[in-house]
Structure 1
Amino acid sequence: MFDASKSRFFIALLPPQDIQAYANEIKQHFADHYASQHAQKSPPHITLQPPFEWLDGKVSRLEASLREFTSQQESLSITLSGFAAFPPRVIYIDVVRSPELLSLQVQLMTHMEANLEIIDEVGKKRPFAPHMTVAFRDLTRQNFHAAWTEFANRQLYFEFLVDKLTLLIHDGRRWNIHSEFAFLSGSS
């Protein structure tokens, strides 16, 4: 049976470059002090649509659908506040759950399912928990506890405006930005 070539994608919100640089410094800290490098395989981001496979020959359809979706969306404010964890493996920068962010994620998931038949079964069973991962997967339980002692009460606060969705593609080693889709201009 012929299996057409597919790539892995996910859809996310990326913070401005200065906040990405800060988050990357934290990821580097985890690599240097806690032997956790896996989070360095993608730019700092807030996942809206988890990884999915898509036919390489139909990427233009995927992009057209995302362009259509974002043309109906307003820019939104994102707040990052402190650190949180999914014990015993994940530490992340906490993203404040605003009604606008939660609505955007639900609308995107609905759009992806209705227009592209891309369904996140896990996401349908549990609530959206927006976060920006700084350590996961290769963070051992012992290192998790040591790192969480360091980061549990560490202060961090950023506010920024997001005006686009980002489609990321996996190249076999890491996630890279494939394309970006601007939101409908807000009242700026």
Structure 2
Amino acid sequence: MKYGIAIFPSKAVQDEANSYRKRYDPHYALIPPHITLKEAFEADEQTVHEFVTELKHIANDTEPFTVNIRKVSTFAPVTNTIYLKVEPKQELIDLFEKMNRGKLPGNQEFAFVPHITIAQKLSTEEYSDVYGSLKMKNFDLEDKVDRFQLLYQLDNGSWTVHDSFVFGKEKV
């Protein structure tokens, strides 16, 4: 089965992202707006059980922190993906790095760029129009991060929560 690890932002941030995603992101119905901490990976049930124990330790050793979003950015020219740029914070980078050590698979294909995708798989013309208008817009979003989620993919391609891990919650 395919798994991934992500942070779901607050409803206010999700509403802002979804105001664009519903029109420009074909994955809109498959997963809510999120910050990916661990790209999709394959695992069996026993392995995931071991990961859950490790993820509990990571969450317990992490204190809540805030993230800020001030603008949009893009992965062009690699892809025509537009995203809300989450300003890199040491706490977020540390959390990402913890996700790629120990028993968890080190499957990160690209450098960690904290973001929330709002548009992808656009034609070149549509990408230019959408990015051209959004890059002029200033965003002023701040969000408290106090948990992350282990997700799994259903047969229809959508993602659902397997477990949530609250920061500093309980000692294992």
Q: TM-score range by the shorter chain?
A: 0.7 to 0.9
Give SS of 2:100's match: helix
Q: Provide the rounded CA distance (Å) in 2 between the counterparts of 1:180 and 1:76.
A: 17
Q: Provide the rounded CA distance (Å) in 1 between the counterparts of 2:49 and 2:139.
A: 38
Are 1:104 and 2:95 counterparts?
A: yes
Any unmatched runs of 5+ in structure 2?
A: none
Q: C-alpha displacement at 1:62, in angstroms?
A: 2.1
Q: Residues 56-105 of structure 1, C-alpha deviation per residue, up to 9 Å, x if partnerless?
A: 34432222221122111111111111111111410000100112211221
Of 5, 11, 16 in structure 1, the residue corresponding to residue 5 of structure 2 is 11
| TM-score, with structure 1 as normaliser | 0.81
Q: C-alpha displacement at 1:41, in angstroms?
A: 2.1
Q: Provide the rounded CA distance (Å) in 1 between the counterparts of 2:63 and 2:81.
A: 31
Give SS of 2:92's match: helix
Amino acid at match of 1:122: E
Two-structure CA RMSD over aligned residues (Å):
1.7
Any unmatched runs of 5+ in structure 1?
A: 1-6, 31-35
Contact 1:81 1:156 in 2 (8 A): yes
- 2:38 paired residue number: 49
Q: Provide the rounded CA distance (Å) in 2 between the counterparts of 1:148 and 1:19.
A: 19
Are 1:171 and 2:154 counterparts?
A: yes
Q: Provide the rounded CA distance (Å) in 2 between the counterparts of 1:115 and 1:38.
A: 29
Q: Provide the rounded CA distance (Å) in 2 between the counterparts of 1:108 and 1:57.
A: 18
Give SS of 2:84's match: strand
- Percent identical pairs in the alignment equals 25
Q: Provide the rounded CA distance (Å) in 2 between the counterparts of 1:67 and 1:154.
A: 38
Contact 2:4 2:152 in 1 (8 A): yes
Q: C-alpha displacement at 1:22, in angstroms?
A: 2.0
Are 1:63 and 2:52 counterparts?
A: yes
Amino acid at match of 2:66: S
Q: C-alpha displacement at 1:12, in angstroms?
A: 1.1
Of 88, 100, 120 in structure 1, the residue corresponding to residue 107 of structure 2 is 120
Specify the structure having the higher radius of gyration (Cα): 1
| TM-score, with structure 2 as normaliser | 0.88
- 2:69 paired residue number: 80
Which has the larger helix fraction?
1
Q: C-alpha displacement at 1:121, in angstroms?
A: 4.7
Q: Provide the rounded CA distance (Å) in 2 between the counterparts of 1:181 and 1:9.
A: 15
Which range moves more in the overlay, 17-26 or 70-79? 17-26
4+ residue segments displaced more than 4 Å: none
Q: Go from structure 1 to structure 2 and tell me whether the alpha carbon gap of 1:155 and 1:101 turns closer, same or farther (over 3 Å shift).
A: same
- 2:23 paired residue number: 29
Contact 1:39 1:135 in 2 (8 A): no
